[in-house]
Structure 1
Amino acid sequence: MTFDALLFDCDGVLVDSEAITNGVLCTMLNEAGWALTSADCLQLFIGKTVRSEAARIEAHTGQPLTDAWMAAFYARRDARLRAELQPIDGALQTVRAVHQRLQGRIACASGADRKKVEMQLQMTGLAPYFAGRVFSGHEMPRSKPAPDVYLAAAQALGVAPACCLVLEDTVTGVQAGCAAGATVLGFCPPGIGHASAEDLRAAGAVQVLQALHELPAWLEGAPCRC
């Protein structure tokens, strides 16, 4: 028996957005007085919400993380995404194939805010395949690495978490999928992956894919615990 549902992360899995978002964040943190490089910013914030790191930001900038600052970040981030965002190679074909194979039992479970996720899916032509099945960690009691967003997605699909396959590109995300009781595949495309294959496996990924087009074939032959 194969898996009954597939739960996709969004950033870094379906869309190539991580460098864009973190670039804006790095610029704004430097403007606020925290001198850090793009590489340091990516390492610190990949897979996390900005608000979850409020204490760290405030300690380095000496300023409170206000709603106004967050609103400015979202506005600058979204403008860059609208101008530059591209799908991960093979995303549309892979999602279409998996959607058909699993009879629509797929979802997008992201740690990002809903507005960003839905905008990105719309921009890349992926939105129809996730209509009504987009879940944001911002709307959950806890964000990744807690399992809340994946548990909510599985429940909405009417599938036990143990019968779900999760695709994630960050250690935080892999930890969230594992904590939900799902089987987790890591995703580490050459030149784009922001976590190493070794780190993803250490976090609990059963295997690491390097390209999205590998997913349907892997799903075809995969065993399931349910």
Structure 2
Amino acid sequence: MTRIAAAEPGPGFSAVLFDCDGVLVDSELITVRLIAEMLGELGWEISEEEAVRTFIGRALVDEWEVIFEHTGVRITEEWIHAFHVRRDDALRDSVRPIPGAEQMLAEIADRFGDRIALASGADRVKITMQLTVTGLGRWFGDRVFSGMEQARSKPAPDVYLAAAAALGVNAATALVVEDTVAGVTAGAAAGATVFAYSPDSPVSTDREALRTAGAAHVFSDMAELPGLVDEWGARLAS
């Protein structure tokens, strides 16, 4: 594993495991608009809000049944590939870090050293490209995990369990930072404490839905996270 300067674990939490899309990189609206566009080409005039509820945080290939139900089309590997190509082109041109993410990662890395990891439900090509374009990859080194490389992707807990195991920590003692119902469900199923990021955005998941899925806390400003980690970690340690 890639090592950052040594640091003692933050009080209470053994590690922090981050989702990528919508948590570290501002990609969700770009992706949602493309999903809506391509489903429209198949005959499903889906709104961006419905696309968020139905697809964000989940592997598109796993949602073939709902697409078939609305279009009569069984999406193929070729269709998925075309989506990935168009998606990655759009992201390469436009993706940016979530506001406050760079400073937040600097502060979290100062507290946790190499006990931070990225655990995304996306494919590795997309993850790597976004981390490279935004410059955020320097915080994670090779501590980057793709749900597509696990037996099951989110909302199953596999990618979070794999990340925790690679860091040598118990997932039940880790903090997961997510932004979707599927992701929160995955983190909670891994036994972790889950914080859900939900800014004031048209593609943000409903906050009550995040709490229902298992989020212990919902926050709206990434600058809040280091303080929340300290506050909750101290509470857990007491």
Using the size of structure 1 for normalisation, the TM-score is 0.95
Q: Which amino acid in 2 is paired with 1:87?
A: P
Equivalent residue for 2:189, pick from 174, 179, 200:
179
- Establish whether residue 82 from structure 1 lines up as the match of residue 92 from structure 2: yes
User: 1:20-66 CA distances to partner (integer Å, 9 max, x unpaired)?
Assistant: 11111111111122222222222211211101101221232222211
The structure-2 alpha-carbon separation of the partners of 1:67 and 1:193, relative to structure 1 and needing over 3 Å to count, comes to closer
Q: Which amino acid in 2 is paired with 1:16?
A: D
- Establish whether residue 157 from structure 1 lines up as the match of residue 170 from structure 2: no
Pairs within 5 Å for 1:33-112: 33-112=43-122
Cross-structure match for 2:4: none
- Establish whether residue 209 from structure 1 lines up as the match of residue 219 from structure 2: yes
Report how many aligned residue pairs link the two structures. 226
The structure-2 alpha-carbon separation of the partners of 1:134 and 1:144, relative to structure 1 and needing over 3 Å to count, comes to same
**Distance in 1 separating the partners of 2:190 and 2:25:** 23
Answer whether contact 1:174 1:203 (CA < 8 A) is retained.
yes
Answer whether contact 2:49 2:203 (CA < 8 A) is retained.
no
How far off its partner does 1:100 sit? 1.7
Equivalent residue for 2:137, pick from 98, 107, 127:
127
User: 1:177-206 CA distances to partner (integer Å, 9 max, x unpaired)?
Assistant: 010000001111122652122221121111
Cross-structure match for 1:141: 151
Cross-structure match for 1:191: 201
The structure-2 alpha-carbon separation of the partners of 1:77 and 1:193, relative to structure 1 and needing over 3 Å to count, comes to closer
List alignment gaps of at least 5 residues for structure 2. 1-10
The structure-2 alpha-carbon separation of the partners of 1:129 and 1:173, relative to structure 1 and needing over 3 Å to count, comes to same
Cross-structure match for 1:21: 31
- Establish whether residue 224 from structure 1 lines up as the match of residue 209 from structure 2: no
After the TM superposition, which of the residue ranges 118-127 and 52-61 deviates more from structure 2? 52-61
**Distance in 2 separating the partners of 1:53 and 1:90:** 32
How far off its partner does 1:81 sit? 0.6
Cross-structure match for 2:3: none
Over the matched positions of the two proteins, sequence identity in percent amounts to 50
**Distance in 2 separating the partners of 1:15 and 1:92:** 10
Answer whether contact 1:163 1:224 (CA < 8 A) is retained.
no
Answer whether contact 2:52 2:203 (CA < 8 A) is retained.
no
- SS of residue paired to 1:208: strand
Answer whether contact 1:169 1:193 (CA < 8 A) is retained.
no
Alignment RMSD (CA, Å): 1.5
List alignment gaps of at least 5 residues for structure 1. none
Q: Which amino acid in 2 is paired with 1:32?
A: L
